[in-house]
């Protein structure tokens, strides 16, 4: 592993900021248990390191949430002992691995439930599961009308118990919460129906970051913060909650070149210099997660000055016009995401320019961008 000083690009992951964001979650939800979402490599921040840090937090993370089996195994193999909920469903052929690594699956069909019970009988270990209900997202999940029947049939399986019920908001990030309220009402009706049949579900959860921030009734008895842990609000418009971005990214100046007026740059020659210019070649490109859509419209910070991306973003490199930047040398680092000398480019601003959303910017940061974890 190369050091920060020799790599083409690196990310600083500020664990103090992560800790402060977690405190903001706790302030919003009170004593409600927290499931920290660390899927997609903890939104690009490094799932193993983030989970290991959060596991030691005094704020008491009750569970971690990942999307797929391999993500859960990676956490277990790194020594993470906290409960891990695998959110994207349970392929039947993966059942032995779930039991071996003590992962809690999300399920939504009786065939999987039966297969899980058969495997648990072989091992002698009872398995807890969470049942996913589709209340309006249209992806995975059982129809609300089928939930009671599912629970009643599940009682026949001695080695499997349903300890959780969950759904996924489609529009909790909007100012208009009418559809979110419809989904929430659907869950409330299911809970009332189950209670009427004497069925108790220890955990019911649907509150993502957006619902944590502005839909308090939906907190119930487990919340699932994701994006807000990493320092960004998913809400449309501003929020009064002070979140701190956890990741800053810097990339190396590989070359500096003086070019004359009228010189075309990069693939497709989409940019032509309008003056004598100094062009810096930076060691980050779309293979590292810097969006191609920022060609000719992105910005980075060089020596405390916002400078424009010129020409098309390449796979491994990006060009900047640094004509008016003083003191920049080959080997220096520019700020791709972060703050420098009062200037800022955070992932949400980058996403706006790239016509995408913050999640895609963060999750897209590639493995070549080395992560460096800072505390204190």
Give the 3-state secondary structure of residue 255: strand
What is d(CA 300, CA 126) in angstroms, rounded to the nearest whole number? 53
Annotation marks residue 373 as catalytic: no
Give the 3-state secondary structure of residue 88: coil
Strand ranges inside 221-322, DSSP E: 247-259, 264-265, 271-272, 277-282, 299-302, 305-308, 318-321
Q: What is the DSSP letter of 103?
A: P
Strand ranges inside 155-246, DSSP E: 160-166, 203-205
Of 39, 98, 250, 290, the active-site residue reads: 39
Give the 3-state secondary structure of residue 336: strand
Beta bridge partners of 300: 307
The answer for residues whose C-beta is within 8 angstroms of residue 123's C-beta and 6 or more apart is: 99
CA neighbor of 202 nearest in space, from 236, 157, 162: 162
What is d(CA 362, CA 198) in angstroms, rounded to the nearest whole number? 44
Return phi, psi of residue 241, to 5°.
Answer: -75, 130
Of 122, 182, 216, 267, the active-site residue reads: 267
- CB distance 356 to 348 below 8 Å: no
- CB distance 244 to 20 below 8 Å: yes
Annotation marks residue 39 as catalytic: yes
What is d(CA 149, CA 161) in angstroms, rounded to the nearest whole number? 15
CA neighbor of 290 nearest in space, from 348, 364, 370, 367: 364
Distance (Å) of CA 374 to CA 12, 14, 343: 7, 5, 21
- CB distance 192 to 157 below 8 Å: no
Query: Which amino acids are annotated catalytic?
Result: 39, 267
């Amino acid at each position: 592993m190369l050091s920060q000083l020799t790599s083409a690009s690196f990310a600083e992951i500020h664990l103090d900021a992560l800790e402060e964001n977690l405190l903001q979650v706790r302030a919003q939800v009170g004593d409600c248990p927290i499931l920290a979402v660390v899927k997609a490599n903890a939104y690009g921040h490094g799932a193993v390191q983030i989970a290991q840090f959060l596991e030691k937090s005094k704020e008491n993370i009750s569970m971690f949430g990942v999307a797929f089996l391999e993500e859960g195994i990676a956490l277990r193999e790194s020594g993470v002992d906290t409960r891990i909920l695998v959110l994207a469903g349970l392929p039947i052929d993966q059942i032995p691995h779930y039991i071996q690594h003590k992962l809690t699956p999300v399920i939504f069909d009786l065939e999987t439930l039966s297969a899980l019970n058969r495997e648990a009988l072989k091992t002698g270990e009872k398995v807890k599961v969470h049942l996913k209900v589709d209340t309006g997202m249209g992806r995975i999940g059982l129809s609300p009308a089928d939930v009671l029947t599912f629970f009643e049939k599940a009682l026949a399986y001695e080695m499997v118990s349903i300890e959780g019920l969950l759904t996924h908001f489609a529009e909790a990030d909007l100012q208009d919460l009418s559809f979110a309220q419809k989904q929430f009402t659907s869950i409330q009706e299911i809970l009332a129906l189950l209670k009427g049949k004497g069925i108790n579900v220890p955990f019911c959860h649907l509150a993502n970051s957006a619902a944590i921030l502005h839909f308090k009734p939906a907190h119930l008895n487990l919340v699932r913060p994701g994006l807000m842990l990493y320092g960004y609000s998913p809400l449309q418009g501003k929020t009064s909650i002070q979140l701190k971005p956890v990741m800053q990214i810097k990339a190396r100046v590989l070359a500096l070149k003086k070019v004359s007026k009228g010189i075309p740059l990069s693939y497709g020659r989409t940019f032509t210099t309008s003056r004598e210019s100094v062009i810096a070649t930076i060691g980050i490109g779309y293979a590292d997660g810097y969006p191609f859509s920022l060609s000719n419209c992105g910005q980075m910070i060089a020596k405390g000055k916002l400078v424009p991306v010129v020409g098309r973003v390449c796979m491994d490199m990006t060009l900047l016009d640094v004509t008016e930047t003083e003191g920049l040398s080959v080997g220096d680092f520019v700020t791709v995401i972060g703050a420098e000398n009062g200037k800022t480019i955070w992932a949400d601003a980058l996403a706006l320019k790239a016509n995408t959303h913050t999640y895609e910017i963060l999750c897209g940061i590639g493995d070549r961008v080395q992560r460096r974890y800072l505390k204190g």
